Copies of this chain bind each other. A is one copy, B any other.
């Protein structure tokens, strides 16, 4: 198990005066801070000591019930009993890997994919099959090719506003992928932390809603409430659901009852529905500023994603550009991003790409930062 490359970058960017486009975290201004006192009062009067006591591993029943409605709004049918509450999605990815991966087993991931997932899976020593992607995300033919030739333990996807690219799979591709997974009787892990962060356009149906028996669906309240509460949730077919409960028993017995009770009240009290538009109104101008600055400053040979939501934009430069080598010069000029290569399980890919986060800086700051990055890239020596 290796220490995280991104964590090392984040240490550097914590320096004063640094503009970080490298992070992947929500803005503290997006948290419903002013609600927390009231939520605490309601939780204590409604649940009393129960909110401070040990609880079932599966989850605090009122939160499980609240999430049934939230999932229904995403087109996913679930019984309250089948919603497993987790201490954030990271633990779910770790448990799935622990349960399913023996050293050398094949698993399939998009290239590029979420770095935290690679970090969760890699200690269990899988062999990675990478799936090709384009501006619309995973290319179904690439998945078909892998499923036809390799027995994979599972496929891992972030279908909506993917980290690191911000890309979303169109409905037609979702249908095709769901059908492929069913036809090959494969298992797919659908990681969905960002779908509620939609600034434009219509919601997309989850893969879980299309192939419920073949999809482990994992999501989180980190982006719509607060990450510091560490509340995730997962919906898995049997026997995986039962195994996840047993694995969680051994790891933390259960997720903080108090945090679960606060989250339940946040949803059932209507606070999520009222607060989410504020989060979107807060992030939308930041994303628009980043897209406009890319248009204005970046050289014409660059290509970038134009997501309808989420927290990231993925920019790719011309072949020969080395974003990892240029990250140092950008940091000297007080701007940080994450070089693209860290999001690939195999070396040599994503060298000219980078992940840009827009949730943590104001529009004007984002503009200035991208101007600097563009300057560094223009000044970089090019291969002949």
Contacts and interface: CB of A to CB of B under 8 A. Distances in A.
Contacts of A25: 53-54
B54 A253 contact: no
A227 B50 CA distance: 10
A44 B37 contact: yes
A53 B228 CA distance: 4
Interface in A244-266: 246-247, 249-259, 262
A90 B252 contact: yes
Contact residue range for chain A? 35 or more
A28 B41 contact: no
Given A37-B41, A44-B36, A229 B52 contact: yes
Given A252-B87, A252-B88, A254-B230, A28 B49 contact: yes
Contact of A33 (B3, B48, B55, B247): B48
Contacts of A28: 48-50, 52-53
Contact of A228 (B227, B229, B243, B256): B256
Interface string A37-72: 100110010001111111100000000000000000
A29 interface: yes
Interface in A139-191: none
Interface string A1-23: 11110010000000000000000
A252 to B, nearest CB: 4
Given A36-B40, A54-B25, A226-B52, A4 B249 contact: yes
B54 A1 contact: no
Interface string A294-316: 00000000000000000000000
A285 interface: no
A255 B227 CA distance: 10
A250 to B, nearest CB: 5
A330 to B, nearest CB: 23
A242 to B, nearest CB: 9
B37 A49 contact: no
B53 A90 contact: no
Contacts of A3: 246
15 contacts: A1-B250, A2-B246, A28-B50, A31-B53, A33-B44, A51-B228, A52-B227, A54-B228, A55-B228, A88-B252, A90-B250, A90-B251, A90-B252, A230-B252, A230-B255
Interface of A: 1-4, 7, 25-26, 28-29, 31, 33, 36-37, 40-41, 44, 48-55, 87-88, 90-91, 94, 119-120, 123, 222, 226-230, 243, 246-247, 249-259, 262
